[in-house]
Chain A
Amino acid sequence: MEYLAHVLVMVCLYGILATSFNLLIGFGGIFALAHATFYASGAYAAGILATKLGIGFPFTMLAGMVVTAAIGLLVAFPAMRVGSHYLVVITLALQAITIDVLMNSKPLTGGPDGIPGIPPVSLFGTPLNNPVAFLPLAAVMAALCCAVAWRLGASPFGRSLRAMRENEAAAQAVGKNLVRMKLVVFALSAGLASVAGSLVAHYIAFVNPESFTIEETILILAMVILGGMGNLWGSLAGAAILVLLPEGLKFVHVPGDIADMVRQVIYGVVLIVILRLRPEGLFPETVFRPPTGAVLPTVPANGPVSAVVRAEGAPGEVVVSAKALAKSFGGIKAVKDLTIDLRRGEIVGLIGPNGAGKTTAFNLLSGFLRPTGGSILYHGRDLTKLKPHEVVTAGLARSFQDLKLFTKLSVVENILVSLPRQPGDNLLDVYLRPGLVRRAERENVARALEIASFVGLLAKADEVAANLSYAEEKLLVIARLLATGADVLLLDEPLSGLDTGTVERICGVLRDLARANKAICIIEHNLEVIRGVCDEIVFIDEGRVLTKGPPDTLMRDRELAERYFG
């Protein structure tokens, strides 16, 4: 009985560790190798506070969570700004110094001997000093942690995380602040892992550095991979399987330290085998579908233009004014002197040969590249120093030539995630003001469906983006762009590779948008189309504006005809 209870307690603790790790890698796509550190930090915080200061259980745990989340934030910050390999190496480094600190800060951590004699948790005067008594507490804490993780996964913030995992550039382009999101989920995951740490400290009554080496992180990782990334139940199952699997060794007579190593070998082998045979793990990613069912019947198909929020201001007013933009990469000047105005209610076509700097111009305008010269004014506000997500929030959004859809998300989720100012993107609101988040979500779903209907994708609302036809993908790109609520829209080749029917449809959408007073700029090669929709053409070559004017005038230009139209 004692033995069974002990095994179950370990399943609960590893369940907490695995689900919190899953939030990080399965939902956020953030690959860090510091979970043993967070676990250790929780355990040592409990050990030190309980033995040195005589503080009792729930407080040791809360203190541990705060400390651990702070460590996570501090360390992750520089790495989050640069890229994935950096996070791997910096968390690896964190792992290395964790052992340094535990081994060497003897007065505090007891060095290699650890901290013995940590008092047990005491509930209503009863010490939980044996596995049977401890199991209910472990189970409740595991359930709580899973509930916190589940709530996050199912929230709009969780959706944003998955979008970020699918495509970072696209997530920025719909206004998501990636650094903030990564730091938030990192801190939360670290805090949850530390809960397991304080539980284990009070449970075993002893902590030492050996329990928190890199092998521990790999073990937890193996549980997540085995259960399936992005599936929280899977992580619990993975934890249960990998805790139980080596218990069989107990019945074979091998010395203790060898048995420990054999266990580790088993974990490693399981990890490699599962990656080979079933890389998605035992369970598929959990699908969190937004509640479209209640709203869907009320949305008219081929929705009206009312789905588009009309931009304020007089038609023809200059909204974006870029002056003398320049960008050089090393010695190569991709854009030399680009001056362009975008006006309300007008569609500008940006044309020019390949390599002329059209996409670079979009990257400069949308904040994906920082110009080396010139200025971009949006309603008189300087955009040049803003980050992509700030530019979107200001009111200028762009699409990508290679679409960059969130392929594992459904159509309506792709649109939903792009809607601005969602309370559910704020984790505090997710946990503390669920009513507000729920109401906002309901409104947003309705709004997303309207937009889907406007571009003609209502019938596919719940379809996964990966299953769409190319034409539908292009429509979804426009829907996503619209959802950002921006009044300046930059579309990178929205019409290329489409049949005439779809081209007509998208042209219609573009005209509707212009009528709704949006300022629009498209990159396009098809001259028929340009003649059909654009009010002005800006022809650029070798990074500078060669000429601009109404389509008909420009297309009669002989020099231009020679250089471009051939």
Chain B
Amino acid sequence: MDLLIQLTLNGLFNGAHFALLAMGFALIFGTTGVVHFAYGPVYAVGAYIVWALVALAGLPFWAAVILGVAATAAFGVASYLFIYRPFEIGGSPPFVVLVASLGLFIVLKNLIGIVFGTDVKTVDSVAYDVHFVGDAFFTTVQVGQVLAALLVGCGIALFLRASRYGKAIRAMADNREMATVIGIDTKRLSILVFALGSAVSAVAGSLVLLRDGLNPNMGFGAVFVAFVAVIVGGVGSLRGAVIAGFLLAFVQSLGMWQIPTEWQNTIVFVVLFGFLLARPSGIVRRA
């Protein structure tokens, strides 16, 4: 019973992490259509910046997170403006943009390794508590993950529904050509979603820094989970991506009941495979 509680809790906390990653990716992919593969290493860069600010510069964690999120947003925007945008202007087919994002992926990932080294980075200056439910336990960091997912999720939902920019983003996600025709500035919106999406990933990255620590390979797993969540959730649906993020985490976590931890990616794959066979349009279908 305690094991079940522990696994459910893990699913919840990890689900919050996946949901954050999926939201950021879904914002960018759903709006601009760019398969932003370098989303993974950009998220990693953000987490490393937070680490450097805390561990090397001695900043308090909250200040480091604010600066780190801002820097990651800037990184995301730069990757759009300098890498993807020129291809969009040139009218390149989507697959060329995808290949460029793979190029950026491999460059950033290895630059992280060169600059920071390949050992695991952790911070020990931030103290947090461990809480118990029977024999099951969780930490304040994990609570933070859930809160962050909740706040960011609600914030984005509100932004997309209520604000002028948010509505424009939804219009662009729905039909880019029409959006251009009615005078929506798609370049500005792309910059905005790249900034937002990357910032969201940096929030996830900061918390993972406290929970697990960092290594240069972390980007692949992140973009993998995010991409799968977006497909399983239904392309174009932020809500679907969040649900799928939690679903993946729960299936992974409950799978550990029987299956050793190391097979996480395989479990994700099985969920994806099942969905592609049974419901290829994803959890939330769009008309």
CB <8 Å contact, A100 and B114: no
Main secondary structure of the interface of B (DSSP, over half): helix
CB <8 Å contact, B265 and A82: no
On whether A88 and B102 interact (CB within 8 A), knowing A78-B277, A261-B114, A265-B110, the answer reads: no
On whether A264 and B109 interact (CB within 8 A), knowing A89-B228, A92-B227, A93-B268, the answer reads: yes
- Interface-facing stretch out of A10-18, A269-277, A460-468, A539-547: A269-277
0/1 string, B65-105, CB within 8 A of A gives 1? 00000000000000000010011000010011011101111
CB <8 Å contact, B99 and A265: no
**With the chains together, A504 CA to B86 CA distance in Å?**
46
B287 lies within 8 A of chain A by Cβ: yes
Which residues from A are CB-within-8-Å of B266?
Answer: 97, 100-101
Interface size (A, Cβ < 8 Å)? 47
B280 lies within 8 A of chain A by Cβ: yes
**With the chains together, A234 CA to B128 CA distance in Å?**
57
B35 lies within 8 A of chain A by Cβ: yes
Which residues from B are CB-within-8-Å of A218?
Answer: 102-103, 105-106
CB <8 Å contact, A268 and B110: yes
Query: What class of interface size applies to chain B in its complex with A?
Result: 35 or more
- Please indicate which of the listed interface residues B83, B86, B231, B287 has the most CB atoms of chain A within 10 Å of its own CB: B231
A330 lies within 8 A of chain B by Cβ: yes
The distance from the CB of B272 to the nearest CB of chain A, in whole angstroms, is: 5
Which residues from A are CB-within-8-Å of B224?
Answer: 92-93, 96
**With the chains together, A462 CA to B152 CA distance in Å?**
59
Which residues from B are CB-within-8-Å of A268?
Answer: 102-107, 110
**With the chains together, A261 CA to B116 CA distance in Å?**
12
CB <8 Å contact, A267 and B98: no
CB <8 Å contact, B103 and A265: no
CB <8 Å contact, A222 and B103: yes
State which of A85, A96, A267 has its C-beta within 8 Å of the C-beta of B268. Answer: A96
CB <8 Å contact, A275 and B103: yes
CB <8 Å contact, B272 and A89: yes
State which of B35, B106, B227 has its C-beta within 8 Å of the C-beta of A264. Answer: B106
B220 lies within 8 A of chain A by Cβ: yes
**With the chains together, A103 CA to B217 CA distance in Å?**
15
Nearest residue, chain B, Cβ from A94: B269
B235 lies within 8 A of chain A by Cβ: yes
B276 lies within 8 A of chain A by Cβ: yes
CB <8 Å contact, A265 and B262: no
Which residues from A are CB-within-8-Å of B105?
Answer: 214, 218, 268
A54 lies within 8 A of chain B by Cβ: no
Instruction: List 10 additional contacts besides A86-B280, A271-B103; criterion CB under 8 Å.
Output: A78-B273, A81-B280, A84-B95, A86-B231, A93-B265, A103-B262, A268-B110, A271-B99, A272-B103, A276-B86
Q: Which residues of A contact B (CB under 8 A)?
A: 25, 31, 33, 75, 78-79, 81-82, 84-86, 88-90, 92-94, 96-97, 99-101, 103-104, 213-215, 218-219, 221-222, 225, 257-258, 261-262, 264-265, 267-269, 271-272, 275-276, 279, 330
